[in-house]
Structure formats: C-alpha cells, structure tokens
Amino acid sequence: MSAQAPRNDRFLRALRREPVDRPPAWIMRQAGRYLPEYRATREKAGSFMALCRNAELCAEVVRQPLQRYPQLDAAILFSDILTVPDAMGLGLSFAAGEGPVFAHPVRSGAQIDALPVPDPEVELRYVMDAVRTIRADLANALPLIGFAGSPWTIACYMVEGRSTRDFHRIKALRYTDPAALHRLLAKITQATTAYLAAQLAAGAQALMLFDSWGGVLSHADFREFSLDYGAQIRAALPQDVPVIWFSKGGGQWLEAQAGAGFAALGLDWTVDLAAARAGVGQRLALQGNLDPAALLGSPEQLRARTQAVLDAAGPAPGYIFNLGHGITPDVGPEALQVVLETVAAA
C-alpha cells in the first residue's frame, strides 16, 4: 500500500500531537447495529462471522457511517477481537442474546501448551483481505485503523469460554497456576503481534489494542498480567506506526499506561479528562471519553455533554474525540449526528 498520507490526516496528526484545525473524531463500533443500513447488510450476510469473512461486505459496512457522517476522520477495520483465538482452534460462535461462545475453552496447562500460533495470511487471511479491500475502497480519503484485543482480554474469553461477570475461571488460573497463565499470555502476545504486523502490511495506518477487561484486575496484577504484554506488542511493531491502548476501567493506572510506549491512550467515561490532559496528556495523545449512554438523552443534553468533553480536552494538540466505549445498538443514528456536528464546530 502507498505510504502517501490520506487526504484527511487530522486523526494521524493528532496522534503525533501536532496542531489540527479541530479535534478529529471517530467512534468505537461506528459500523454497527445502531445503523439500519448495517443491520440490512448483516442480514444479507447471514451471520456476524459470515459478514466478517466477506471482504466486500466488510468494506460496505465500513463505508456506511462514513457516508452518513462526513465529520468522521478515520475508518476502522470491521472485524472482531476474537478472530485470533478462533484461528487457534477454539471454535467461535455467537449465540443469540449471549454474545461470543467458544466450543473449546482453554482450561489447563496442557491445552495452553498445545495451542497453535496462527499464520495471519493463512488462518486469518479473510481479515487481511478485508483490510486490503477496505483500504482500496477508502481511496486514501481517510486513515484506516486496524485493531486487536489485548492479550489479557483475549485470555479472559479463552479461559471463560464466553462473556462473564465474575471472571472466576481466569482468576482461579491466576492464583492456582500463574505460570500457565503467563504462558497463555505469551502465546497470545506472539499471535497478536504477528496479526497486527500483517494488518499493517495489508494497509492499516494506525492500530488499537482493546484491553476491554483490564479493569477487572487488582492493582498489583494490572501491570503484570495486562499492561506488560500490551507493551511487548507495542515494542515489537514498527515505531513509526501509532498504536492506541484502551483499557476499560483502567483509569487509575494512567501513569503506568503512559509509560508503556503507546502514541495514545483511550479513556473510558469514568476518567476525568481535564485532569488526564493536564497530567499524562502532556506526554502522549488522549482519546475519548463521552459516556455512550449520553446518546440516549435529548439533543440539547447531548450537545451540552459533548461540549463539556471538548472543553475538558482543551485546545492543546494531541486529542481525539470518541466515546468512552462503543456506541450501543439502542442509539438512534440522529444522536450521533448531533455529537459529530458539535465536534466539527469546535
């Protein structure tokens, strides 16, 4: 892929903490179920995984929010963080009303040691084909973000076998056999590093690591079992590629995260953005952090809440507007229009 900068490079400049005319904006899950056009495409595909495995349909759903909202400053790959463990043989499916389920969860040291490390251009070729197709479809108008789950988050799903509220299986593994958990995290780190490097080779121009479950760890364990593995991935990737780290529920560890080598930290809605900008925001870019639930309020409230986030971020370089987590399916598309028009007017 060409190294030429996209025509709209506001997002990439903000990641480098360079001046921009206004805060760039993109939205986690901006291609998703809140859009009727996305729901129609998913129905056409037949299932979520069938959609993920169809490069042309992936490009179609990536394009949908960009066509609806010209204020967006970045596109993000349409995929799922669980493609990597699926490629390791765990048998991913999505049960109606239950979320992701693995047919073969990993529960023992022997199972961990037997896990293969997938080749991203073989077992995960469909993701790379999607990156290539989306990048070509963008025609260099906007930058393309690739992504993966953090090793800790992926390990949670692999050990639990499905979404959970108490994380009892993986926490039991942490306390009964921490060496086995470290072997699992090391293997996921190896696979994720190769996966993200392949996304870059296929055309991604920035990367994001979603540490969705980092916040369930204790203070003593966050660095050892989550952040250190994310930092290993960052260090193994080309240093001129910006990588965003988003640890949901990890706001109490911003200082540690800021020292891990990332270009930016994503912040959830519980973080004091003004304090973060005055602190770690002096050293790296910050992204966030409007509460996704704010999009369920009135347009007047939503404009005020969006403006409050922009005011907290302030005018200094190195800020990217986003939600504090993914947009939810119950949000009306017009609500996001209010948010993005407010940001565009900043």
Active site members: 29, 33, 42, 80, 157
Measure the CA–CA gap between 331 and 340, rounded to whole angstroms: 14
The torsion angles phi and psi of 103, rounded to 5 degrees, stand at -70, -25
* Residue 314 DSSP label: -
DSSP string covering 244-263, please? Answer: EEEETT-GGGHHHHHTS--S
Cα 305 from Cα 271, distance rounded (Å): 14
Q: Identity (one letter) of the amino acid at 105?
A: P
Single out the residue of 264, 268, 312 nearest to residue 290, CA to CA: 268
Distance CA 94, CA 86 (A): 12
Nearest CA to 159 among 85, 249, 99?
85
d(CA 138, CA 118): 28
CB 245 within 8 A of CB 230: yes
Question: Residue 219 is encoded by which pair of tokens?
Answer: 């203070």
Alpha helices in 117-227 (DSSP H): 125-138, 151-160, 168-176, 178-202, 219-222
C-alpha 1: how far from chain center: 22
